[in-house]
Structure 1
Amino acid sequence: MLRVVGKGAFGKVFQVRKKCNDSSNGNESDGLYAMKVMRKDTIIKKNHVDYMKAERDILTKVVHPFIVQLRYSFQTNSKLYLIMDFINGGHLFFHLYRQGIFRNMHGSQIILFSLGLLLLLKWIPVMQVMLTDFGLAKEIDEASRSNSMCGTTEYMAPEILLSKGHNKDADWWSIGILLYEMLSGQPPFTHANRKKLQERIIKEKVKLPPYLTSEAHSLLRGLLQKDPLQRLGSGPNGGDNIKSHKWFRSINWKKLEARELLPKFKPDVSGKDCTANFDRCWTTMPLDDSPAPTPTAGEHFQGYTYVAPNPWLSSA
């Protein structure tokens, strides 16, 4: 273990180095990974077992140039471990809070590979972004609806807060909230009181900053429609409808997906193991994989262990 690079409700994320590397067979010699450690007792107590299983399952299934690759997963009596590629560019919000606002290229990347999900984003060394956190992701088909209510309230769609049942249209609302925040510096609906915040999201009309372009206004209005059936992105061809919006007219989507377009913003990194783009409140933490009690309930995480078909193959 080298450094702490993240901390959440269920545990920590460490930058780690694999002790034994076989570089003679073309394997990566640096052996750097991110190790996500989660406490079983906390997961069970918060009734998040299904989400933790889903995160592991999704990461084993999805292979995409903009999604972090899971290399290994395993467990002890008290904890779950996910070993993923270490991405040294830092968290999206770390840069957003420092930059204040972002511009078009970042938004186009989020739309391209969001897969209808609002997720944690990090930069890779060639200044692209990677989805890394599937902790609250859920697999549903086109006809399915969900009634779960997890995540950050500021990003929740009205139909989630109203417990009407929702599908991926709710994710396009969340993408709209994120784009609004990237372009203006703060989300459109805020309040210290959670109940009043929910009321604002359900009832208040979104106020668009006057300094944004008419194209940006049009895109945000489309994504932030209260009625999911009227929302830009709804329906089977929703992603294509968003990509063809006039705000993205300068984007060559094929080149973007091939990672041939570079964003204007470049995180400052000094090497593969650089952690300068992670908050010091994490990187200065003691390197403790602290002990945790073993749950007394039955086996919740059978079949959790995983080794990627070629765990040394770099996705970058």
Structure 2
Amino acid sequence: MVSSSSSSSASQNKSLHPLLATKLTKLTIPPSSSSPPQDFEFNDVFGPPTTSNDPPSSSFSPPLLVIHNRSHSFVGPSPRFTPTSSLPFTPEFDSQSEDENDAVSETPNRKDEELGKTEVVRKFGPSDFEMLRVVGKGAFGKVFQVRKKSTDDDDGDGDGDGDGDGDGLFAMKVMRKDTVIKKNHVDYMKAERDILTKIVHPFIVQLRYSFQTNTKLYLIMDFINGGHLFFHLYRQGIFSEDQARFYTAEIVSAVSHLHKCGIVHRDLKPENVLMDADGHVMLTDFGLAKEIDEDSRSNSMCGTTEYMAPEILLSKGHNKDADWWSIGILLYEMLSGQPPFTHANRKKLQERIIKEKVKLPPYLTTEAHSLLKGLLQKEPSQRLGSGPSGGDNIKSHKWFRTINWKKLEARELLPKFKPDVSGKDCTANFDRCWTTMPLDDSPAPTPTAGEHFQGYTYVAPNTWPSST
């Protein structure tokens, strides 16, 4: 019985050999695993960037987000506060696996498509930029000062081969996909990119490019070399009312523009305000920004605790009025050297923000007192800037009577203070804890699912305004 079964099995196996051989001849051998893995640009696969007003959906729903320290910023944590985040972070740039991601493709421009023309759009990747220094570190990534490598045509003539970047200096914000996905912040990262593509304002840092590899997300923005506002406030201790008025006016102008576009920043603080070489301020870090309809509210708990409005802490739902509270806190800090509500214990700090009355410094003018009282109203409907007039009510406040808003927004008002900048690539106004960090390459794992960041790629038009 056993012998008969074995003979039958052997005969069956023998008959399968020709079929198996035929299948094997059709197999192809993949490239050697020793070669560098290729990172792909996903825009060709998933289509052009989304134009929806709402952040693209993902399979992850963002949880309530609370930033417990002051390290969530474009240029890194403030030196006064020790970061308490338990989130590990390693250097962000892996040149060995990502230098190949710089393809060129032909994409028809809508207007030229009607005329039968085709515009060549240059695609960018990590290999197009030379890292110079680390200039900051945030909750999900690092920021590098980089120089765009020259191409055959960088004269800005609009033919698509170059974009006329001049000195080619940029700030490169790099975020690891695995960390973003693990923390359920996919929607926040996509919203930041989408919002930046829609905003053009003289006091908001401009996005030039965005792209991705298998492992990381990249935002390329103008490099603003005067350092962040906190850096100068920490050095000076406090600002005079004239100096604070100028900075606050430019911030109010930027935030008013955001609100008119239906965008709430939600993380306004000195660490997220850069200063250019001329002394103008530039709003940055839109990692927590959100598009909110006029009649809608957001229930997320997000921001930096010292600057969070009471309605956020109480989970009452918030809208653009929360930004005006944060500007009030920011102004108070500029004029006094610290926020009005402080405590080492986060819970007690929240209680103070919700319950305690603001104690105004007696040395300030009555106009400054009036503005601070208006901005720091705990009831959002009573806060200066609430209602349909929004930022116009703040601009017309008597503390700003010396500000010519048209000249201000045309950058015709000259700052009285100019940071000490030795050149366009100067990083002296950034904290040395970042600028002295080594530019170590570090690989990052590739997320198993690749559908989270579709349509992330962006190249600014050739007519994009220069920050110089």
Q: 1:284 to 1:164 in 2, by over 3 A?
A: same
Corresponding position: 1:38 with 2:168: no
Q: 1:277 to 1:232 in 2, by over 3 A?
A: same
Is this contact kept in 1: 2:156–2:165, CA < 8 A?
no
Corresponding position: 1:83 with 2:213: no
**What is the CA-CA distance between 1:296 and the residue it aligns to?**
2.1
Q: Report the Cα distance in structure 2 between the residues aligned to 1:245 and 1:123, rounded to whole angstroms.
A: 24
Aligned-residue sequence identity (percent) comes to 85
Q: SS where residue 290 of structure 2 aligns?
A: coil
Q: What's 2:192 paired with?
A: 55
**What is the CA-CA distance between 1:289 and the residue it aligns to?**
4.3
Corresponding position: 1:106 with 2:106: no
**What is the CA-CA distance between 1:25 and the residue it aligns to?**
4.6
Q: What's 1:16 paired with?
A: 146
Q: SS where residue 47 of structure 1 aligns?
A: coil
> C-alpha offsets along residues 243-301 of structure 1, whole Å, 9 cap, x if unaligned?
11111111111110010112212101000000000000000011134222222245210
- The 5 Å alignment of 1:180-219 reads 180-219=332-371
Is this contact kept in 2: 1:67–1:132, CA < 8 A?
yes
Structure 1 unmatched runs, 5+: none
- Name the Cα RMSD after superposition: 1.5
> C-alpha offsets along residues 175-200 of structure 1, whole Å, 9 cap, x if unaligned?
10001001110000011111110000
Deviating more after overlay: 274-283 vs 259-268: 259-268
Q: Report the Cα distance in structure 1 between the residues aligned to 2:132 and 2:464, rounded to whole angstroms.
A: 19
Is this contact kept in 2: 1:71–1:311, CA < 8 A?
no
Q: Report the Cα distance in structure 2 between the residues aligned to 1:253 and 1:25, rounded to whole angstroms.
A: 32
For residue 19 of structure 1, what is the amino acid of its counterpart? K
Corresponding position: 1:5 with 2:157: no
Among 73, 92, 108, the alignment partner of 2:229 is 92
For residue 216 of structure 1, what is the amino acid of its counterpart? A
Is this contact kept in 1: 2:376–2:383, CA < 8 A?
yes
Q: SS where residue 197 of structure 2 aligns?
A: helix
Q: Report the Cα distance in structure 1 between the residues aligned to 2:148 and 2:441, rounded to whole angstroms.
A: 16
Q: SS where residue 133 of structure 1 aligns?
A: coil
Deviating more after overlay: 52-61 vs 100-109: 100-109
Structure 2 unmatched runs, 5+: 1-130, 158-163, 260-264
> C-alpha offsets along residues 227-251 of structure 1, whole Å, 9 cap, x if unaligned?
1111111101021111111111111
Q: Report the Cα distance in structure 1 between the residues aligned to 2:353 and 2:180, rounded to whole angstroms.
A: 29
Deviating more after overlay: 18-27 vs 256-265: 18-27
Is this contact kept in 1: 2:278–2:419, CA < 8 A?
no
Q: Report the Cα distance in structure 1 between the residues aligned to 2:301 and 2:215, rounded to whole angstroms.
A: 26
- The 5 Å alignment of 1:244-259 reads 244-259=396-411
Q: 1:53 to 1:311 in 2, by over 3 A?
A: farther
Is this contact kept in 2: 1:70–1:83, CA < 8 A?
yes
Deviating more after overlay: 131-140 vs 119-128: 119-128
Greater relative contact order structure (CA < 8 Å, 6+ sep)? 1
Q: What's 2:280 paired with?
A: 128
Q: SS where residue 332 of structure 2 aligns?
A: helix
Give the structure with higher Rg (CA): 2
Q: Report the Cα distance in structure 1 between the residues aligned to 2:155 and 2:442, rounded to whole angstroms.
A: 35
Is this contact kept in 2: 1:72–1:311, CA < 8 A?
no
Deviating more after overlay: 206-215 vs 125-134: 125-134
**What is the CA-CA distance between 1:141 and the residue it aligns to?**
1.7
Give the total of aligned pairs.
316
Corresponding position: 1:277 with 2:413: no
Q: What's 1:138 paired with?
A: 290
Is this contact kept in 1: 2:302–2:312, CA < 8 A?
no
**What is the CA-CA distance between 1:108 and the residue it aligns to?**
1.4
Corresponding position: 1:264 with 2:416: yes
Is this contact kept in 1: 2:251–2:283, CA < 8 A?
no
Q: Report the Cα distance in structure 2 between the residues aligned to 1:190 and 1:253, rounded to whole angstroms.
A: 33
Among 291, 300, 307, the alignment partner of 1:148 is 300
Q: Report the Cα distance in structure 2 between the residues aligned to 1:19 and 1:313, rounded to whole angstroms.
A: 20
For residue 203 of structure 2, what is the amino acid of its counterpart? F
Is this contact kept in 1: 2:228–2:275, CA < 8 A?
yes
**What is the CA-CA distance between 1:23 and the residue it aligns to?**
4.2
Q: 1:244 to 1:206 in 2, by over 3 A?
A: same
Q: 1:227 to 1:246 in 2, by over 3 A?
A: same
Q: SS where residue 214 of structure 2 aligns?
A: coil
Is this contact kept in 1: 2:156–2:462, CA < 8 A?
no
**What is the CA-CA distance between 1:29 and the residue it aligns to?**
3.3
Is this contact kept in 2: 1:28–1:312, CA < 8 A?
no
